[in-house]
Amino acid sequence: MAHFITFLLVLSLSLTFSLLPETASAQLRQNYYAKTCPNAESIVRNAVTKKFRQTFVTVPATIRLFFHDCFVQGCDASVIIQSTGSNKAEKDHPDNLSLAGDGFDTVIKAKQAVDAVPSCRNKVSCADILAMATRDVIALSGGPSYAVELGRLDGLRSTAASVNGKLPHPDFNLNQLNSMFAAHGLTQTDMIALSAAHTVGFSHCSKFSNRIYNFSRQSAVDPTLNRAYATQLQQMCPKNVDPRIAINMDPNTPRAFDNVYYKNLQQGKGLFTSDQVLFTDRRSKPVVDAWAANSNTFNSAFITAITKLGRVGVKTGRNGNIRRNCDAFN
């Protein structure tokens, strides 16, 4: 009788849980498309490689697109949606206007390549293609390769208003960074690892000009900034610089996804306040020092962090679908 009661209790619990909304990463798994589109990952990798050969910008643009997607409404490709007369979409929020077009183009081209295979048409989500493309550009630029979890659906809404206060800013301190990442189940260690995406890519001068011209009453230049580097930045970004000018975020190996990002921080060469604070704040400094010294420990921490990022706010069941075109709702 006791066994039967236990069985009923387990049954009622499992029924209760099955009626609850699915947890974010409930159905994510590796090789998700093994039966429906077995070559999905190689098709995406080939399309991404082709785009990468056309322009290196493919790398930072795709990584940043993934991050901006996941931090707003979860990893659901909502950032790719175009605005319409009746809806201002995420991509047109001021915080997203600097997302490079090459990131969007990478996903759209990969989606076209997948859908060109008749058996794969409308089987692979744009959200998953963005996750795969992110993994691929990291590997193409010398970063770690990893198995990517798949099974996301594409989101059904995208509004500029939903972006407000959801993305980290270049002037954030450690507390602000930690609380924003913690809201998505990401630890301080995850945040420090994901910040290394700044080892590739570029920034417009306006994002850091306060650090080289008007930092405080006491000092025009941020004292945590390497003096020679500050002078170099002033030369590349004079006061009335063309707003379209962009400079490399990693002054040493701008086209390699590597742990030099952390070595730069040790030398006061973090471009943003939110980069350099990882070294100047004693709570995060030990991790920066450890990863500057050991690329293997950094690589494994990065894989953990980007896998966790890919589980944020995943859409399943009736909360999503597979878009026919990544930039428009069905």
Proportion of the chain above pLDDT 70, given as a percent: 92
pLDDT digits (tens, 9 = 90+) for 269-296: 999 999 999 999 999 999 999 999 999 9
Q: Radius of gyration of the chain from Cα atoms?
A: 21
- pLDDT higher than 50, residue 246: yes
Closest by CA position to 260, among listed 283, 293, 285? 293
Beta bridge partners of 320: 155
Query: Rounded to the nearest 10 degrees, how much is the dihedral formed by the CA atoms of 272, 275, 281, 286?
Result: -160
Annotated binding site for heme b: 198
Band of residue 1 on the pLDDT scale cut at 50, 70, 90: low
pTM recorded for the entire structure: 0.92
Instruction: Quote the pLDDT of residue 3.
Output: 52
Task: Read off φ and ψ for residue 81, nearest 5 degrees.
Answer: -60, 135
- pLDDT higher than 90, residue 141: yes
> 50 vs 46, 149, 294, CA distance in Å?
6, 23, 31
Instruction: Quote the pLDDT of residue 14.
Output: 43
Residues 262, 310: Cα–Cα separation, whole Å: 23
Instruction: Quote the pLDDT of residue 22.
Output: 41
| 7 SS3 class | helix
Task: Read off φ and ψ for residue 98, nearest 5 degrees.
Answer: -90, 5
- pLDDT higher than 60, residue 6: no
Closest by CA position to 48, among listed 140, 146, 163, 145? 140
Half-sphere exposure for 287 (CA within 13 Å, toward CB): 19
Band of residue 198 on the pLDDT scale cut at 50, 70, 90: very high
Mean pLDDT across the chain: 93
What residue ranges define each of the domains in the chain, with the CATH number in brackets? Answer: 39-163 (1.10.520.10), 174-310 (1.10.420.10)
Closest by CA position to 184, among listed 274, 309, 67, 64? 309
- pLDDT higher than 70, residue 155: yes
- pLDDT higher than 50, residue 316: yes
One-letter-per-residue 3-state SS of 138-202: HHHCCCCCCCCCECCEEECCCCHHHHCCCCCCCCCCHHHHHHHHHCCCCCHHHHHHHHHHHHCCE
pLDDT digits (tens, 9 = 90+) for 218-243: 999 999 999 999 999 999 999 999 99
Instruction: Quote the pLDDT of residue 27.
Output: 81
Instruction: Quote the pLDDT of residue 16.
Output: 39
Stretch 209-222: mean pLDDT, rounded?
A: 96
- pLDDT higher than 60, residue 178: yes
Annotated active-site residue 68? The verdict is: yes
Band of residue 26 on the pLDDT scale cut at 50, 70, 90: low
Structure tokens at 219: 């000092």
Residues 283, 182: Cα–Cα separation, whole Å: 16
Catalytic residue among 3, 68, 184, 204: 68
Instruction: Quote the pLDDT of residue 4.
Output: 45
pLDDT digits (tens, 9 = 90+) for 51-82: 999 999 999 999 999 999 999 999 999 999 99
Annotated binding site for Ca(2+): 69, 72, 74, 76, 78, 90, 199, 250, 253, 258
